Amino acid sequence: MTSDTPQHAIRTAIEKIATGPHLSKPLTRDEAREAFAAILSGHATPAQIGVFLIALRMKRETDDEFLGLLDALISETNPITVAVESLAILADPFDGFARSMPASPFLPAVLAACGLPTLAIGLPRLGPKYGVTHAQILSAAEIPVARTPQEAAAAVEHCGWSYCDQHQYAPRIAALVPLRNEIVKRTALNTLETLAKPLLGKRETHHLSGYVHSPYARLYALLARAAGFTSAAITKGVEGGFLPPLNKTSVVVRMPTEGDTTESIDPGALAIQHAVRAPEWPRAMPDPTDSPDWQRDAAHYAAQTGIAALQGAPGPTADALVYGAAIALWHTGKAGSLAEGAARARSVLRNGAAWDRWVAGKN
Angle between helix axes 316-331 and 294-310 (nearest 10 degrees) is 70
pLDDT 10s digit of each residue in the chain, 363 long? 566 799 999 999 999 999 887 889 999 999 999 999 999 999 999 999 999 999 999 999 999 999 999 999 999 999 999 999 999 999 999 999 999 999 999 999 999 999 999 999 999 999 989 999 999 999 999 999 999 999 999 999 999 999 999 999 999 999 999 999 999 899 999 999 999 999 999 999 999 999 999 999 999 999 999 999 999 999 999 999 999 999 999 999 999 856 789 999 999 999 999 999 999 998 877 777 667 688 899 999 999 999 999 999 999 999 999 999 999 999 999 999 999 999 999 999 999 999 999 999 998
> DSSP letters along 225-245, please?
HHHT-SEEEEEE-GGGSSSPP
CATH architecture assignment, domain 6-75: Up-down Bundle (1.20)
| Top-tier CATH class for 82-360 | alpha beta
How far is residue 107 from each of residues 7, 18, 41, 229, 320, measured CA to CA in Å? 43, 42, 35, 20, 9
Q: Which of 95, 118, 212 is nearest to 220 (CA)?
A: 212
Structural domain boundaries of the chain? 6-75, 82-360
- Whether the pTM exceeds 0.75: the reply is yes
